[in-house]
Amino acid sequence: MRRHLFVGTFLFFITLVSGCGWMYQLGASEEEAGKDVTEANMYVQPFSYTNQDNETVTNEDLKGKYWLANMVFTRCPTVCNLMTPNMLNMQGKAAEEGLDIQFVSFTVDPEFDDPEQLKIYGENYGADFSNWHFLTGYSFEEIKQFSEESFRSIVEKAPEQEDIIHATSFFLVDPNGQVIRSFDGTNNDTDPFIEEIKELMNE
């Protein structure tokens, strides 16, 4: 019993101190491409935010479409440097497959990440802005609440590490605004993700 308590405490500590690298996700195991989260009954909450081109983007703009969402920030010292290239790979593969998918990255550092910063960030990775929105235009408390209510994912500042804890999942949202899959955003083998999305869109 005491040993189990020690292991649990140790794992909690590792989770707490790992900052942006914390694998806080509903996401995939090695045995599956994505995690089916339809029974969690998660729906994206209404929003009206600003993208990298200073354009307003709302949840209504995405209604009727499949879209892939994640949380990033431009000063992220760890996992965002994996997640954004992986999202870029998925954008390219989706285009090759002729899949009409929108991509949405919500910054968890809105005080710093204004539209100009987000545009530079996206350009540095070679993002195609025609169907990829990098969103800001809200407070930290707003994105914290939005992430919790929409994706059941925590957003917390870790000031001692100059970091922000956030989900590392890619969340697939269906045309009705329901979150139906989560994928491991740090996994650079994104082919299975695209195949699974393709199957879902063809059902």
Can you tell me the mean pLDDT for 172-194? 96
- Dump pLDDT digits (tens) for 74-130: 999 889 999 999 999 999 999 999 999 999 999 999 999 999 999 999 999 999 999
Mean residue pLDDT of the chain comes to 87
Q: Positive or negative, the Cα torsion across 53, 55, 57, 62?
A: negative
- Residue 176 lies in domain: 20-201
4 located within any domain: no
Token pair belonging to 173: 């949202």
Tell me the residue type at 26.
L
Tell me the residue type at 11.
L
142 located within any domain: yes
pLDDT at 34: 86
Taking the C-alpha atoms of residue 95 and residue 101, their distance in angstroms, rounded to an integer, is 9
Number of domains making up the chain: 1
Residue from 193, 169, 174, 187 nearest 90 by CA: 193
95 located within any domain: yes
Taking the C-alpha atoms of residue 198 and residue 93, their distance in angstroms, rounded to an integer, is 11
Pairing of strands 101-107, 56-58: unpaired
7 located within any domain: no
1 located within any domain: no
42 located within any domain: yes
Provide the H-helix boundaries in the chain.
2-17, 80-97, 115-125, 140-151, 191-201
What's the pTM value of the predicted model, to 2 decimals? 0.85
- Dump pLDDT digits (tens) for 158-167: 877 778 999 9
Give percent of the chain with pLDDT exceeding 90. 78
pLDDT at 163: 86
pLDDT-wise least confident of 57-61, 135-139, 155-159: 155-159
13 located within any domain: no
pLDDT for residue 199 is more than 70: yes
Taking the C-alpha atoms of residue 173 and residue 183, their distance in angstroms, rounded to an integer, is 12
- Dump pLDDT digits (tens) for 14-32: 333 334 443 344 333 444 5
3 located within any domain: no
CA 32-66-156 angle, to 5 degrees, is: 70
Q: Where are the beta strands (DSSP E) in 32-78?
A: 35-36, 42-43, 48-50, 56-58, 66-72
3-state SS, residue 174: coil
Higher pLDDT, 7 or 144: 144
Burial of 2 (0-12, 13-18, 19+ CB in 10 A): exposed
Residue 121 C-alpha from the chain's centroid:
16
pLDDT band for position 192 (cuts 50, 70, 90): very high
Pairing of strands 35-36, 101-107: unpaired
CATH no. for residue 93? 3.40.30.10
pLDDT-wise least confident of 126-135, 151-160, 168-177: 151-160
